[in-house]
C-alpha cells in the first residue's frame, strides 16, 4: 500500500526546452523532483558532431526530444528511421545548489554517445555512419557527474540501422542523485509488482480454462497477461535489472 501511494504521488515537473536551451538556475534540484529535458533540441541530421563542431554550425532545425525520427516531417527520406544524427541542448543550472547532478538516460533507438561539456557520460552500443560499423544496444542508465559550471552543453550522437523507430522516444531526466536513484527504484518496484500481478493473473485464467471454463475469452486473457509480461520485462527498468542479475550470478 505504501508503495502504491508513493507511485501515485510521484509526478514529473515539466520545464520545456526552447530553441535548444533550458534555464533551471532558479530551481533547487536538491529539493526538486527529477526534471524531464523535453522540448526543442538543436538537431543535426546525418552528422556526428562533437561539441566543438556543434558550436561552429547552425542546426538543421530544432526537434522535439521524445519525437522519433519517423514522425519528423522535416526528414524526407523514405526509411528515415534509419540513419544517424546529433542532438544538442544547453542546460543552465546553479552549480552551487547542485554540486553533483544525476542523469537518468532511457533506452534510445538504438545506439548513442552522450557528452556533458566534452565529458562522455554514457553510451549504448557503437555509433557509426553505416550498419557495418555500428552496434545496437538498448539499456537505460543512471549516471552522476560533479558539476563545476553553471552552463552545461549536452551532446548526444544517435545511430539506428535496426529498429523500425529511430531516435529518442522517452525523456532524459536530471536531478539530485538521491532523487533520481529513488525514482528509478520506484519505477523498478512498480514494474516488478506489475509483472507479478500479470504472471499470477495469466496462470489463474489458464487454470480456470483447463479446469472446466472452456471459454475462449478466459484463454485469450490468460495469454494476453503472459505476453504483456514480456513487454514489461523487455523494456527499460526490468531489462536492466535482469541483465545486472545475470552478470552478478555469472549466468
Instruction: Scan for cell 538556475, then name that residue.
Output: 25
CA dist list (Å): 180 to 103, 172, 175, 245: 7, 11, 6, 21
Q: Per the structure block, which three cell numbers stand in for 249?
A: 550470478
What's the whole-number mean pLDDT along residues 217-227?
Answer: 84
pTM: 0.79
As separate numbers, helices (DSSP H) first and strands (DSSP E) second, the chain gives: 5, 12
Task: Assess contact for 181 and 102: CB atoms under 8 A.
Answer: yes
Residue 187 has pLDDT above 50, yes or no: yes
> What is the C-alpha separation between 25 and 95, in angstroms, rounded?
8
pLDDT band at 227 (very low <50, low <70, confident <90, very high): confident
SS3 track for 138-151: CCCEEEEEECCCCE
For residues 65-83, average pLDDT: 89
Average pLDDT over residues 2-7: 44
The percentage of the chain sitting over the pLDDT mark of 90, rounded to a whole number, equals 60
Architecture of domain 11-175: Sandwich (2.60)
* Residue boundaries of the structural domains of the chain: 11-175, 182-249
pLDDT of residue 92 exceeding 90: yes
Amino acid at each position: 500500500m505504501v508503495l502504491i501511494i508513493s507511485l501515485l504521488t510521484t509526478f514529473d515537473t515539466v520545464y520545456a526546452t526552447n530553441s535548444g536551451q533550458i534555464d533551471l538556475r532558479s530551481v533547487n534540484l536538491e529539493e526538486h523532483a527529477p526534471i524531464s529535458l523535453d522540448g526543442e533540441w538543436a538537431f543535426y541530421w546525418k552528422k556526428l558532431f562533437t561539441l566543438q563542431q556543434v558550436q561552429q554550425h547552425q542546426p538543421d532545425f530544432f526537434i522535439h526530444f521524445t519525437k522519433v525520427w519517423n514522425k519528423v516531417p522535416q526528414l524526407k527520406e523514405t526509411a528515415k528511421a534509419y540513419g544517424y544524427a546529433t542532438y544538442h541542448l544547453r542546460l543552465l543550472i546553479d552549480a552551487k545548489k547542485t554540486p553533483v547532478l544525476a542523469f537518468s538516460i532511457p533506452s534510445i533507438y538504438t545506439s548513442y554517445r552522450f557528452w556533458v561539456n566534452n565529458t562522455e557520460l554514457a553510451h549504448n552500443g557503437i555509433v557509426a555512419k553505416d550498419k557495418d560499423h555500428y552496434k545496437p544496444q538498448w539499456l537505460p542508465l543512471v549516471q552522476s557527474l560533479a558539476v563545476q559550471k553553471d552552463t552545461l552543453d549536452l551532446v548526444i550522437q544517435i545511430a539506428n540501422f535496426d529498429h523500425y523507430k529511430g531516435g529518442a522516444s522517452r525523456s532524459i531526466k536530471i536531478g539530485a542523485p538521491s532523487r533520481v536513484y529513488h525514482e528509478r527504484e520506484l519505477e523498478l518496484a512498480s514494474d516488478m509488482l506489475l509483472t507479478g500481478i500479470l504472471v499470477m493473473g495469466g496462470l489463474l485464467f489458464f487454470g480456470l480454462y483447463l479446469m472446466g471454463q472452456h471459454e475462449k475469452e478466459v484463454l485469450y486473457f490468460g495469454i494476453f497477461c503472459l505476453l504483456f509480461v514480456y513487454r514489461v520485462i523487455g523494456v527499460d527498468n526490468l531489462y536492466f535489472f535482469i541483465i545486472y542479475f545475470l552478470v552478478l550470478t555469472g549466468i
